[in-house]
Amino acid sequence: MAHQRCDWQGVYPAAVTPFTKDGALDEQATRDLIEVFLADGVHGFISVGSTGEWFSLSDQERVRVFEIYKEQVKGRVPVVAGTSAIGTRETVALTQAAKDLGLDGCMVLPPPYAMPTKEEVIGHYAEVAKVGLPIMIYNNPPRTGINVDAAMASELAKLPEVVAFKDSTKDLYQTSEAFYAVQDRMACFAGLEPYGLAAFSRGAVG
């Protein structure tokens, strides 16, 4: 039997990104928030995920947030960079930046809005995988219009760089099937807190 490719587990909050009143990135508030989470015992971070409003930040601002997390966390827990974008080229560039900074992985949605085919989604992740940074796939169909079901997750699990699968569907049957299909290779995470207990009983680790 295969084994999970990473040891990520526990609570990985998709932390908000604080802004100042004029809409600029609030760097000090970001550092303060990191320390609050760490004091509360989180096991890792998702930096600039969907709750972190990646869509409201320029690529340069996103990389700056990655830098802040690297500087502030100081290796105390893993930091996973949210590198989702509509375009594959942009996702690859952000993932490369996260790798260059020494972050522990990236979380990537299927390209939102673009409505790619299954083959295009797999191709998107294959290009990101070439960067060589561990990847958490994030399935959130209401946000993307793309559903990574058990069959697609199994295909993506063939990429060695794909180490984790986060699911935010409200279909527990589908979530169960996906987790059962990949949990021997990927660390599975519940993206919706109300589904956490049910997800843990089906193989989720966080």
pLDDT at 199: 93
83-110, pLDDT tens digit by residue? 999 999 999 999 999 999 999 999 999 9
Catalytic residue among 70, 84, 99, 166: 166
The answer to whether 50 is a known catalytic residue is yes
pLDDT at 187: 97
Burial class (CB in 10 A: 0-12, 13-18, 19+), 95: buried
- State mean pLDDT over 108-134: 96
Rounded to two decimals, what is the model's pTM? 0.95
Give DSSP secondary structure letters for 85-144: -SSHHHHHHHHHHHHHHT-SEEEE-S-TTT---HHHHHHHHHHHHTT---EEEEE-HHHH
- State mean pLDDT over 31-36: 98
Angle at 82 between CA 78 and CA 168, to 5 degrees: 95
143-161, pLDDT tens digit by residue? 899 999 999 999 999 999 9
pLDDT at 2: 54
Catalytic residue among 138, 168, 176, 195: 138
194-204, pLDDT tens digit by residue? 989 999 999 99
Catalytic residue among 50, 84, 168, 176: 50
**Under 8 Å between Cβ of 189 and 204:** yes
In our burial notation (b when 16+ CB lie closer than 10 A, e otherwise), range 115-133 reads ebeeeebbebbeebbebeb
